[in-house]
Structure 1
């Protein structure tokens, strides 16, 4: 049997960061489509989002490992959503101190200090469900061959051109 190793924490964090960053860009593009009817589908984000999403989903991974046998999917997603709001508020508050917070929900009726908005509770709930069921579970399954079992193209010091 071929020996393999799982992804290290930094690789998993990177995958989670890329997933969150891409989802935010897609979400903002679709949001604009429904509000301006523009088919340009221009999505936007901030580099801060990369760190924010990577860390949030990485911590969700740890929560999944702890909560999986203790509660059902619905309750886990509720806990993840509460975590998401806590993390979004905390990071937004810190960024705002440095005038670097890229979001402002002040125009939403359910906003709290403009840093979070309750109107996003359902989308966050389902985003957390997708993060657990698709992103985290599959990322934890990813494996690489050990150095002794690398494919021939990677086992040489030079890559053939």
Structure 2
């Protein structure tokens, strides 16, 4: 598990330093085992991936990976496709997409089409674990910008995804 966390950390470090408009650059990191490139996030059989669907004719899609951590918390990793290089707020809301509930967890904004947040608590301070997130009655929204709350991509998560 720690090996995958190292790969993910290295992947994000390369992206933050080399953020550009070229989508091909977003999927390249260095594999420390053989020095070669990694074309995607290493697979972890315990992670749960949710496909982000385009909303409001934005063309933005992507993936939200919920990855369990050794301490029981979860890392939420988001990678957007067809998004601008702008800052895109990411939030987990209560209820399904159709119910459009209030914000439950404010995630780190997507910068250079990427976001990574370790989740241990809801915004109201209540503790939440990876297992509880897998049962959570919620959905994830990606917004256009900090000043424009138009949803550009979303997905149901937890109990609503099944």
Larger helix share, 1 or 2: 1
Give the number of the structure whose alpha-carbon radius of gyration is greater. Answer: 1
TM-score of the superposition, structure 1-length normalised?
Answer: 0.27
Larger strand share, 1 or 2: 2
Higher relative contact order (CA 8 A, sep 6+): 1
